[in-house]
Structure formats: structure tokens, C-alpha cells
Amino acid sequence: MRVIIDIAHPAQLNFLKHALSRLRQEHRVHVSYLKRGMLPGIIRQEFHEYDLVCIGEHRGSVASILYHANLLRLVKFIRYIYLNHIEVGVNGGVPLGFALKLLGRRHVQFDDDIERKLTIFLERISSDRLVVFPDFIVLPKYQKMKNLSFVNALKEWAYLSPSQFTPDPSIPQAFNLSQGRYIFLREVSNKTINYMGQETGLICKYQESIVSIGLQVVLSLEDKTTRALYPNDWLILEEPVQGIHSIMYYARFVVSSGDSMAREGAMLGVDSIYCGMRDMIANRYLARYGLFHWVRNEKDLKQILAEAGKCDRELYRNNLLNTWIDVNDLIVSTINSQNRR
């Protein structure tokens, strides 16, 4: 088959990268991506051996999201799919899904934001198969939809399971970081739809508690224009960082204003604190396993920092490995199933 796989932000790149290497052994794989931040450079570095095409852009405003990243992207996808004889598209959301549908081609979509009812509706009607993570809460109306399925895992497990990820202690050492002696922070930009309305520099609100535990502080800062908000002695990483998950793995805690990296930390076996505004089923699902904490005030954060940080990481991760499905097997089998239609 001729397959196009769309990547609109780095989390999708990580989610699909292991499955991609297996798919290209059987199919002609095209990779499309959105011009957004550092994503183009990362894509060209990670996937240089694929047929790459930049389709659409994201300039940070609502108007750009609606026009450049959706409407104009839809038109460009139609042209590319037609000229390159694409048969199946993967993970392109609404623009790629409707482009494929208009041309009578097939679309497979993976999502973990079941709360976004409009998006899920549009993805469902534009997809031949919509796979949703996790299977924590499935409303009766969804159970009756034939092209919709729920699975027992989270998307981040595709690249963080012990079968895919082995932490490298030399990576934090290269930053003069000692295992368990630092706290890893992630501050996301509020210039995206998911975090529009969230306070700028949210982690600064918890600065006193973070500093009080006496650990070195490492900050991954998505919007570098806000750098002046943070203390000068905090180590601010220059992305993209090779091996960032090893840095997270050896941290005492992960604190993030974005949900994805908070979930990543918890899947690495690190007590992870999410201080953002999104109430997601994926977060509640992961919280049952004990290391994902959603805090909304200083008191709760202080309590977690005082009591947590003592998990046996490998034991915890192996428990998840024995409990959850293999996400990469799921991705590959779902796409391959479209070949027999």
C-alpha cells in the first residue's frame, strides 16, 4: 500500500516512530508534517529516509489554526493524495481524514482526547477506524459505533514501554545532573488550542515549593520568549534534547504544566505532578496507578513533594508492561487491516 502518516506535533512523532520502521518494510510510507516550531527540523532528522512533505503551518494564532492548519491543509492534502496515489492515511485528524474521504481513500485515526466531543465526532465520520486510548470510561453511545474502539493503554506507551525504552544514565551526567538529585520541569506554551486560556509561566506560581526541597532544577521551556520569568540558576534546556526521557527517568520528580509530559513521567516510574488546566480521562486512568498527581494549589504540591519520590521504577514499569497492550502491535495491525479491504 501507499500510506501517508501525518505528524502535527512531537508527541505524534514519538507515538508513531517505532511502528513506522515496521510499516516501511511492507508499504511505501509518506510522512507529512506541519510547519510548527521545531517540528520540521526534528522530522527531517528522524525520518530523512522517508518520503517527506510539509503540508500546512501553525503560526500560533487562532486564525492560523483555523485557516493554515485546517482549511488550507485540507486543500493541500487533496492534491498530494491524488498526485501520489495514496491509499491509506494515518493519524491526520480532520484535514487528512476529510481529504481522504472526498477521494474515496481510507483513514485510520488514533486519539486520546475523548473529551473533545466535536473533534471525536469529526474524526469518527472521516475515519474508517478510530482507535481511542484508554478504555477507562466508555459511554454507551460509543459502544454501538462499529468503527470506534477503545484500548487498554496510553499512546505514550508506544515509545516508553520497557520493550522500547532503556534509560541511559550518561545523558543526565552530560548536564552535570546526579540521579535523584534534581527535579524536572516542563512549561508548555499557552498559544495552542489545548492550552489557550492557561496562565503564562504557570510553574512560576509554584516556584517557592519547588525551590524549597533543595534539588537542582531542570526546565524544558516550550516558549523561550518567557525565559525571563524563571530564576537564573535553573538549567533551561535547549531543545531538541537527545535523550530527554532519560533525563526525566533519573529525576526525583517531574512537574509539568502540559498533560503529555506529565503522563510520560508517570509511565517512566517517576512521581509526576500535572499543574495544568485540562481534566482528561487519560490522566484519570493513569492516576489509578499511583504516580500521576493533578495539583491545583500550593498546599497539594508541597504534600506530594514531601511524601513521594520513592517508587521502584522498574517494578512499576514491568507491571504496566504486563497489564497494557503492545501499542506498536496495535498500530501496525490496524493499518495492515486496511490492506485487505
Q: Which residues contact 160 (CB under 8 A, 6 or more apart)?
A: 245, 264, 267, 268
- Determine the Cα–Cα distance for residues 81 and 76; give it in Å rounded to an integer: 9
Question: 32 and 116: one domain?
Answer: yes
Give the model's pLDDT for residue 63: 76
Q: 248 with 254: CB under 8 angstroms? A: yes
Residue 208 placed within a domain: yes
- pLDDT tens across 260-292, in order? 999 999 999 999 999 999 899 999 999 999 999
Question: 175 and 312: one domain?
Answer: yes
Residue 164 placed within a domain: no
Q: What is the mean predicted confidence (pLDDT) over 300-325?
A: 92
Name the one residue in this structure whose C-alpha cell is 526521557. Answer: 245
Report CA Rg, the chain: 20
Question: 101 and 215: one domain?
Answer: no
Give the model's pLDDT for residue 240: 79
Question: 263 and 222: one domain?
Answer: yes
- Determine the Cα–Cα distance for residues 327 and 136; give it in Å rounded to an integer: 16
Question: 333 and 307: one domain?
Answer: no
Residue 242 confidence class, pLDDT cut points 50, 70, 90: confident
Residue 336 placed within a domain: yes
- Determine the Cα–Cα distance for residues 25 and 72; give it in Å rounded to an integer: 32
State which amino acid sits at residue 340: R
- pLDDT tens across 139-189, in order? 666 667 788 999 999 999 999 999 999 999 999 999 999 999 999 999 998
3-state helix, strand, coil in the chain (%, to 5): 45, 20, 35
Residue 36 confidence class, pLDDT cut points 50, 70, 90: confident
Give the model's pLDDT for residue 175: 96
- Angle, in degrees to the nearest 10, between helices 117-126 and 93-102: 30
Residue 31 confidence class, pLDDT cut points 50, 70, 90: very high
Question: 197 and 269: one domain?
Answer: yes
CATH code of the domain containing 212: 3.40.50.2000
Q: 267 with 160: CB under 8 angstroms? A: yes
Question: 192 and 318: one domain?
Answer: yes
Question: 7 and 127: one domain?
Answer: yes
Residue 130 placed within a domain: yes
Overall number of domains in the chain: 2
Residue 16 placed within a domain: yes
Residue 315 confidence class, pLDDT cut points 50, 70, 90: very high
Question: 6 and 154: one domain?
Answer: yes
Q: Which residues contact 133 (CB under 8 A, 6 or more apart)?
A: 110, 111, 112, 150, 151, 153, 154, 155, 282
Question: 179 and 313: one domain?
Answer: yes
Residue 165 placed within a domain: no
Collapsed DSSP state (helix, strand, coil) of residue 285: helix
Q: 336 with 129: CB under 8 angstroms? A: no
Q: What separation in angstroms does the CA of 5 have from each of 26, 36, 65, 132, 210?
A: 14, 17, 20, 17, 40
Give the model's pLDDT for residue 53: 95
- Determine the Cα–Cα distance for residues 245 and 232; give it in Å rounded to an integer: 24
- Determine the Cα–Cα distance for residues 5 and 13; give it in Å rounded to an integer: 10
Q: Which of 4-18, 29-43, 314-328 has the highest mean pLDDT?
A: 314-328
**b/e for 277-316, b at 16 or more Cβ within 10 A?**
beebbbbebbeeeebbbbbeeeebbbebbeebbebeeeeb
- Angle, in degrees to the nearest 10, between helices 10-23 and 39-46: 20
| Separation of first and last alpha carbons in the chain | 12
Residue 113 confidence class, pLDDT cut points 50, 70, 90: confident
Name the one residue in this structure whose C-alpha cell is 488514533. Answer: 110
More confident residue, 112 or 140: 112
Least confident of 143-147, 171-175, 194-198, 318-322: 194-198
- Determine the Cα–Cα distance for residues 129 and 108; give it in Å rounded to an integer: 5
Question: 128 and 174: one domain?
Answer: no
Residue 42 placed within a domain: yes
Residue 340 confidence class, pLDDT cut points 50, 70, 90: low
- pLDDT tens across 245-257, in order? 999 999 999 999 9
- Determine the Cα–Cα distance for residues 63 and 53; give it in Å rounded to an integer: 23
Domain residues for 331? 2-159+326-340
The single-letter DSSP state of residue 63 is H
Question: 317 and 334: one domain?
Answer: no
Which percentage of the chain shows pLDDT scores above 70? 96
Q: What is the mean predicted confidence (pLDDT) over 61-78?
A: 84
State which amino acid sits at residue 300: D
Residue 318 placed within a domain: yes
